[in-house]
Amino acid sequence: MNFRRVAVTGVGVVAHCGIGKDAFWTGLQGPVEDVERRVHDFDPEPYFENPKDARRTDRYAQFAFAAAHEALEQAGEIDAAPTRRGVFLGTGIGGLTTLEDQIINRYEKGERRVSPFLVPMMMANAAAGGLSMKYGWQGPAENTVTACAAGTHSIGNAARWIATDRCDAVLAGGSEAAFTVTALAGFRNMTALSPNNRSMPFDANRNGFVMAEGAAVLVLEEWDRAVARGATILAEVLGAASTADAHHITAPSPGGVGAVNCMELSLADAGLSAEDIVHINAHGTSTPLNDAAEAEAINKVFGGSNRPVVTSTKGVTGHALGAAGAIEAAAIVLAMEHELIPPTVGHEVDDPEMPEIDLVVGEARPWTPGPSMSNSFGFGGHNGTLILGPGA
């Protein structure tokens, strides 16, 4: 069948390094302190009808509302019918903050003191459903929960809705806010977290990821409709893919086999060859196994002299779990706009035991924007790859 082109016409971001895409972009340049990557000074009330609605919405969904608001403001007036507008939001965990708070409430005060809003606040689909209601978008409103690949999967799946003529516009991205005592203890006790809150992607001394929260939402539109209404096209979704390692619940498959398959499938979906890719925003979590497997996978797919430029923005943002892929897709769109690839902050020493990649370190690198890849690999063996191209 003939697939329709998919344009990106709006970007919205909430992250530790900046609330709003402009502050986020500035923050990506570094430096960053070795702290938990929480979003500070965030006020959810401007994105809701009244303060009561904001209080009845979990923090992860509040982030999604803020990011969607910014993205839609940039996109401008969308003239598609309500039933042709969709929402696809990913999350790794959903309303965990609300769930943990209410479990403590029940334990300390009894069952009758559990909030009647517990269920709608903790649902993983609450952000997608809430956005569809806020804006009256009556097309499909769905979410995916594929751990750290959720944001990437959501954008890829949303693009397919447009490419296959199910929707004309989609709000797509991911959101996460899982800073609870229990979640941190769980990650810490499985030795996944950096003990000193240092995110050092692909560094010889990397010792775990740094937990983060945040959200990013892209406005996707059918290309010709966006052009016809005079929208500024920021980027194009060229292809996407999803695979499973089928290996281990947390560890990547040896040699990055699942990641290799995912990247190769995304190239085929985009109708591109490995030589066409000029930039990769890596998953690059700063964990020993993940970074080594991803570097090996990149070399297997892109081996040779014409290798793409690689960066991991998690050195600044930390790892926002199910929101990570969406935040990194937003980083690619902004890198195209500014014609700069942000550095891999935190990387200091190359790992001699890891395959060599062309990693951006120190400061941002100028580039001529071209087809770019974003990788996300999640617990459960979920792999997601997205390919974006310049809008011009």
| Residues forming the active site | 148, 283, 319
Instruction: Please answer whether residues 163 and 238 qualify as being in contact, where contact means their C-beta atoms are separated by less than 8 angstroms.
Output: no
Contact in structure between 150 and 91 (CB atoms under 8 Å)? yes
Q: 240 and 272 in contact (C-beta within 8 Å)?
A: no
What the block records as the tokens of 364 is 């941002």
What stretches of 107-166 adopt beta strand conformation (E)? Answer: 141-144
- 329 three-class SS: helix
Q: Which of 37, 269, 3, 33 is nearest to 156 (CA)?
A: 269
* 96 Cβ neighbours under 8 A, 6+ residues apart: 60, 122, 177, 178, 180, 183
The amino acid at residue 15 is A
Task: Please enumerate in sequence order all residues whose Cβ is within 8 A of that of 10, keeping only pairs 6 or more positions apart, or say none.
Answer: 70, 71, 72, 73, 74, 75, 76, 217, 218, 219, 234
Please name the residues in contact with 210: beta carbons below 8 A apart, sequence gap of 6 or more. Answer: 36, 37, 193, 194, 197, 198, 199, 286, 314, 318, 319
Q: How far is CA 242 from CA 11, 250, 260, 275, 356, in A?
A: 23, 17, 11, 21, 25
Joined together, the tokens standing for residue 296 give: 């090996």
Helix (H) or strand (E) holding 390, with range, is strand 382-390
Q: Counting runs of H as helices and runs of E as strands, what totals does the chain give? A: 13, 14
Q: What distance in Å separates the CA atoms of residue 173 and residue 113, rounded to the nearest whole number?
A: 34
Per DSSP, 318 falls in state: -
Question: Residue 355: is the preceding peptide bond cis (ω within 30°)?
Answer: no
Cα gap 24→27, rounded to integer Å: 5
**CA–CA dist 388, 371 (Å, integer):** 6
